[in-house]
C-alpha cells in the first residue's frame, strides 16, 4: 500500500428546499448540489496504528480523535493508517467540509485497499456523505439517501464567503417554522447558458436561510455585501450557513469580486471558485 492523496471539495447547495419531516425527526430535503474547486486535502499512508493529524490554515479547533468524521470513515476499513487532513474550509459552515473530508477518506482508503465497494456504516457518517462521494452536480432528496447526477449544468463562477460564525445545523432546522414546502421542479434545466440558468436558480430557494439569519443575523450582512458586488447575479446561503455564495457569469467577475471582498472584509473567509 502506498501514499494516497484525495481532494475534498467544498459542497455548495445552490437550492435547498425542506419538503417535510419524518416521525423520527429527520427532515426531508430536495437540493441541487454542486462542488467547488476549493477544498481540503486528505493524505492517507500505511501505519502501525490509526493516527489523524490536522494541519493547514483552518486546523484550529478541529478534533483529531474518534469524533472527527475522517477518523470514523477510516475506522470502517479496519486498516491502520496515518491520515493528514489539510484543512482549508471553515467548519460548521454549510459547505459540507466534514462530509467531504469523510468521503475523500473513503475514496482514498478504497483505492489503497483495492476495493471500490463501500464499507458498511457509510450511512451512519451523515446525510451529506453520499452526495460528496459522487463529487459532481447532483440532486439530493429524502434525508440524503436519494442522490442522482444532474448533467448539463452550465459553468458557474462564485464567490464564497463566511463571516467566521459557527451555525449548528440542528438549531437551524429546529427554528424552521414551515417544514412542509414545495420541492424543486420535476426536471432540473439542462443545456442552459450561465445567465439564464442563474435566473432560474433565483426562482428557487434555501428554506433554511431565514431561520439561520434569525439565529445569526450576520448572515444577512454577508448576503447584502455579496449582493452589492459588481456583476453579481444571485446571492444565497449554502446549506444551513453561515457560508453564502454569489454567482457571476464570468470567472473574471468572480475573481474581481473575491478580491474586493477580501479587501473590505479581511476577517471573513473568502474564496473565488468554479462550481460544477
CA distance 241 to 248: 20
State pLDDT tens for residues 126-138: 999 999 999 999 9
Positions at the binding site for ATP: 90-100
Question: Does the pLDDT of residue 91 top 80, yes or no?
Answer: yes
Identify which of 273, 7, 29, 34 has the alpha carbon closest to the alpha carbon of residue 150: 34
- Specify whether the CB–CB gap between 9 and 104 falls below 8 A: no
Convert the pLDDT of each residue in 185-231 to its tens digit: 999 999 999 999 999 999 999 999 999 999 999 999 999 999 999 99
Q: Could you list the active site residues?
A: 11, 128
What sign does the CA torsion over 74, 75, 76, 78 have?
Answer: positive
Crossing angle between the packed helical segments 251-264 and 218-227, to the nearest 10 degrees: 130
Q: What is the mean pLDDT of the chain?
A: 97
Specify the residue for cell string 499512508.
45
pLDDT score at 2:
86
- Percent of the chain at pLDDT > 70 equals 100
What pTM, to 2 d.p., does this model score? 0.97
Query: What are the cell numbers at 229?
Result: 458586488
- CATH class held by domain 4-149: alpha beta
SS (H, E, C) the chain: CCCEEEEEEEEEEEEEEEEEECCCCCEEEEEEEEEEEEEEEEEEEECCCCEEEEECCCCCCCCCCCCCHHHHHHHCCCCCEEEEEECCCCCCCCCCHHHHHHHHHHHHHHHHHCCCCCCCCHHHHCCCHHHHHHCCCEEEEECCCEEEECCCCCCEEEEEEECCCCCCHHHHHHHCCCCCCCCCCCCCCCCCCHHHHHHHHCCCCECCHHHHHHHCCHHHHHHHHHHCCCCCCEEEECCCCCCEEEEECCHHHHHHHHHHHHHHCCCCEEEEEEEC
For residue 162, give every residue at least 6 positions away whose Cβ sits within 8 Å of its Cβ, in sequence order, or none. 90, 93, 222, 242, 243, 244, 268, 269
Mean pLDDT (whole number) for 60-86: 97
Q: What is the mean pLDDT of residues 101-111?
A: 98
CA distance 85 to 53: 6
Given a cut of 80, whether residue 87 has pLDDT beyond it is: yes
What mean pLDDT is predicted for residues 75-97?
96
User: Per CATH, the architecture of 156-275 is what?
Assistant: 2-Layer Sandwich (3.30)
Mean pLDDT of 30-52: 98
Q: Is the pLDDT of residue 89 over 90?
A: yes
**CA gap 43, 123 in Å, rounded:** 23
pLDDT at 92: 86
Question: Domain spans of the chain?
Answer: 4-149, 156-275
Q: Is the pLDDT of residue 1 over 70?
A: no
Amino acid at each position: 500500500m502506498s501514499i494516497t492523496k484525495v481532494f475534498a471539495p467544498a459542497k455548495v447547495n445552490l437550492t435547498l428546499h425542506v419538503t417535510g419531516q419524518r416521525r423520527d425527526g429527520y427532515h426531508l430535503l430536495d437540493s441541487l448540489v454542486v462542488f467547488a474547486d476549493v477544498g481540503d486535502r486528505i493524505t492517507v499512508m500505511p501505519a502501525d496504528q490509526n493516527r489523524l493529524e490536522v494541519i493547514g490554515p483552518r486546523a484550529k479547533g478541529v478534533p483529531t480523535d474518534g469524533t472527527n468524521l475522517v477518523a470514523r470513515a477510516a475506522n470502517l476499513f479496519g486498516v491502520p493508517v496515518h491520515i493528514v487532513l489539510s484543512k482549508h474550509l471553515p467548519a460548521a459552515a454549510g459547505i459540507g467540509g466534514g462530509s467531504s473530508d469523510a468521503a475523500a477518506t473513503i475514496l482514498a482508503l478504497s483505492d489503497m485497499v483495492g476495493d471500490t465497494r463501500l464499507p458498511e456504516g457509510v450511512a451512519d457518517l451523515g446525510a451529506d456523505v453520499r452526495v460528496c462521494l459522487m463529487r459532481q452536480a447532483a440532486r439530493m432528496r429524502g434525508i440524503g439517501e436519494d442522490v442522482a447526477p444532474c448533467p448539463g449544468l452550465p459553468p458557474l463562477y462564485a464567490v464564497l464567503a463566511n463571516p467566521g460564525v459557527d451555525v449548528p445545523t440542528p438549531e437551524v432546522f429546529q427554528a424552521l417554522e414551515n417544514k412542509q414546502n414545495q420541492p424543486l421542479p420535476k426536471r432540473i434545466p439542462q443545456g442552459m447558458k450561465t445567465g439564464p440558468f442563474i435566473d432560474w436558480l433565483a426562482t428557487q430557494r434555501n428554506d433554511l436561510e431565514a431561520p439561520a439569519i434569525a439565529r445569526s443575523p450576520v448572515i444577512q450582512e454577508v448576503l447584502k455585501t455579496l449582493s452589492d458586488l459588481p456583476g453579481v447575479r444571485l446571492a444565497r446561503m449554502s446549506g444551513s450557513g453561515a457560508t453564502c455564495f454569489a454567482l457571476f457569469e464570468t470567472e473574471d467577475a468572480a475573481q474581481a469580486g473575491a478580491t474586493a471582498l477580501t479587501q473590505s472584509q479581511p476577517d471573513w473567509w473568502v474564496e473565488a471558485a468554479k462550481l460544477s
